[in-house]
Amino acid sequence: MSKAHSDNGNQKLQKARRPAQGGKGHAPDDTGKKGAGNARNNANNTDTVSKNGSAARDRNISSAKSLWAQISSNSDFFSDTEPADNNKIPRHHMYAIWSLVVISLITAIFLPTPEEISNRNEYSWESTGRHPDIHNGMSRNIFSEEDVNATETLDSDPIPFSDLYDEDENEKSGDNEWFTQTVVPGDNINNIFMSLNQPFAVLKAIEQVPQYGSNIRSIKPKDKLYFLFNDKMQILQLVKPYDRQNQLRFSRQSPDSLDFTAVLEPIDSHLNSQNDDEIKSTTEIAVQPKTEESGDHGKNETQQTKTEQPKDQQTAVAEKDKQDKEAEKKAQELARQKAEAEAKRKAEEKRLAEEKARRDLLNRRKELVTFTINKGDTFVQAAQRAGLTKAEAIKITELYRGRMQPKHLRPGDEIRVLFASSKPNSKINAVTIKSQKNGRMNAFRDTSNNSYYDDKGIHARKSTKFNRYPVAGPIRITSNFNPNRRHPITGKVRPHNGTDFGVKVGTPIFAPADGIVTKATFQRAAGNYIVIQHRGDYSTVYMHLSKILVKPGQKVKANDRIALSGNTGASTGPHLHYEVRIKGVPVNALKVSLPNSGYGGDSATEKRLKAQIAEYKRKLGIN
């Protein structure tokens, strides 16, 4: 009885609940239909979320946050039972939404922005996973199997020297430093000479030196060959190892000859020589040229105006008129020559007077010389006015090459030069330049090797870091350095003074070392091109660029982006023509030993140099 009563009560309770769950006026079957409709709506919402997930990153993140808030508010999400309230999303739908949320978050985080996609060609060094090394081997380089001249026309001559360097930058002091070439596996003396752009005739002349000439070909990896070049990149001396204790030094008698001599001497004797860095005064008095005496002019005039008696009386008048005209013309010519001789005499007298004044000033010169740049002055003019010789002034400009251009000095800039003594031929121990544009820059002489360094111990004429390549990523060579290249049809020599890198238009080009941009312009053959002067005698050239990113006079650091590669000028395909030059002469950029300077560690040499620098600064009166 109680059981039947209980069943009747449950049935009544269920009937009472159905209208509340289904809503007023709805049959029980309508509740299931509404739940299905909600599911379809949720599925449609899921599709909308999927479409939003492919939109921009910010919208993805916003949608993901909204969905996450909705999921977090659903306490039955991880429940194994169906939710009691039909308004809540079913569990399998929540799994699908959660999967889409995760995919949207991953997409928003890892896909690049539209700005990044538009700039996808602007790679940095790090983006390629490869940094050019200072002395990197070429085993990974790819050399094109196509025609080595496929990216440049053979009919064009090399770009003129005047388009690469200004006239004032070509002045040399005659002060030469040793260049070091390290032998690497696979090297021989022939390709070393070719890499340095040296004539084969010079190598043959060295080979013919009695007793020691044949030893020039005896080289092995890690050997160091030392070259002493003059301003025209001609070999004056060559030093190579002979055994563990001795070396051979080949010396040229004259740059105009091919006569060499050889001596056997202890290792590194050439580095201890004090004669290579001598600065000689250029104040010799020239002999005054003799001029013709006026008596000689009168004598010549008399002789030249003599005429022969006419044989025929009928032609005497005409002959006399002709002779008078010739005499007048000769008299005018003699007067012109006399005026020119007088002008030359006065100019020579003025030059000698100025030279005498400079010599007197040089003799009175003190150990420390201070001068400033005046309006309209060049650096050399200001230095000579202060008592320096032209050779000394040019030497100072060479010490600052790659760090500063003298032509950019402004009126009021101060220069202090410290000599070893007050004698005319004393060596320069230190130089400090206080520039309004570049601040204070110093150069200090190490008395042990006659080389100059800055405050940080970095060689004044060598870069601390010089990368082998100006591009990042895999290296593809389409044309090698070849100074003896000939046109296949005409047979004329058409040197290829650089190395061509096969890169697509817009590839970033990077500075291999610190320096100053000296040229950034357009030329018919080179297209858009850049020249950078590095420390010392090194410079680099970049041709056929699509876009130049630097300007003349701008300082650049190693790995700075300077341009984008292109296909401008005399180019038949996208590539970068790259040159390394020493003293303005092109060399093989892939094989030449690149500079790397500076005292490393805490050596005794570094401590001694620091003590010297401190003493120089005290005498210069700077901190």
Nearest to 45 by CA among 61, 67, 30: 67
Tally the residues of the chain.
623
Report the Cα 352 to chain-centroid distance in Å. 42
Q: What are phi and psi of 362, to 5 degrees?
A: -65, -40
CA distances from 8 to 17, 270, 463 (A): 15, 121, 102
pLDDT at 417 (0 to 100): 94
Residue 136 has pLDDT above 90, yes or no: no
Specify the 3-state DSSP secondary structure of 8.
helix
Report yes or no: 68 and 60 within 8 Å, Cβ to Cβ.
no
Q: Are strands 476-479 and 142-143 parallel, antiparallel or unpaired?
A: parallel
> Averaged over 228-246, what is the pLDDT?
91
Residue 576 has pLDDT above 90, yes or no: yes
Residue 369 has pLDDT above 50, yes or no: yes
Q: Quickly tell me which residue has 């070719």 as its tokens.
A: 194
**C-alpha span between 381 and 390 (Å, rounded):** 8
Which residue has better confidence, 218 or 23?
A: 218
Report the Cα 269 to chain-centroid distance in Å. 33
Report yes or no: 589 and 500 within 8 Å, Cβ to Cβ.
no
Q: How confident is the model at residue 444 (pLDDT cuts 50, 70, 90)?
A: very high
CA distances from 370 to 81, 359, 424, 553 (A): 95, 18, 16, 26
**C-alpha span between 452 and 398 (Å, rounded):** 11
pLDDT at 400 (0 to 100): 87
pLDDT in tens, 306-322: 444 455 666 777 777 77
Count CB neighbours of 388 within 10 A.
26
> Averaged over 349-367, what is the pLDDT?
79
What percent of the chain shows pLDDT beyond 90? Answer: 30
Residue 304 has pLDDT above 60, yes or no: no
**C-alpha span between 337 and 329 (Å, rounded):** 12
Residue 279 has pLDDT above 80, yes or no: no
pLDDT at 290 (0 to 100): 38
Residue 598 has pLDDT above 70, yes or no: no
pLDDT at 286 (0 to 100): 32
Least confident of 7-21, 98-112, 182-196, 521-535: 7-21
Which residue has better confidence, 577 or 177?
A: 577
Written as one letter, the residue type at 165 is Y
For the chain, the straight-line distance linking the first and the last C-alpha, in angstroms and rounded, comes to 114
Count CB neighbours of 267 within 10 A.
14
Nearest to 241 by CA among 211, 217, 276, 277: 217
Written as one letter, the residue type at 459 is H
3-class secondary structure per residue, 219-237: CCCCCEEEEEECCCCCEEE
Which residue has better confidence, 512 or 175?
A: 512
Instruction: Classify residue 457 as left (phi > 0), alpha (psi -120 to 50) or beta.
Output: left
> Averaged over 498-520, what is the pLDDT?
93
Q: Quickly tell me which residue has 């190598």 as its tokens.
A: 203
Mean pLDDT of all residues in the chain?
75
Q: How confident is the model at residue 273 (pLDDT cuts 50, 70, 90)?
A: low
What torsion, rounded to 10 degrees, do the Cα atoms 257, 263, 267, 272 define?
A: -60
What torsion, rounded to 10 degrees, do the Cα atoms 559, 564, 569, 574 define?
A: 100
Tell me what percent of the chain is helix, strand and coil, each rounded to the nearest 5.
35, 20, 45
> Averaged over 390-408, what is the pLDDT?
85
> Averaged over 113-132, what is the pLDDT?
39
Report yes or no: 466 and 596 within 8 Å, Cβ to Cβ.
yes
Q: How confident is the model at residue 126 (pLDDT cuts 50, 70, 90)?
A: very low
Q: What are phi and psi of 242, to 5 degrees?
A: -110, -50
pLDDT at 113 (0 to 100): 57
pLDDT at 602 (0 to 100): 52
Nearest to 461 by CA among 409, 393, 537: 537
Nearest to 71 by CA among 46, 51, 47: 46
pLDDT in tens, 424-435: 888 999 999 998
Kindly list the strands in the beta sheet with 414-419, ordered across the sheet, starting from the edge strand earlier in the chain.
368-372, 414-419, 428-435, 439-446, 451-453
Nearest to 301 by CA among 259, 279, 333: 333
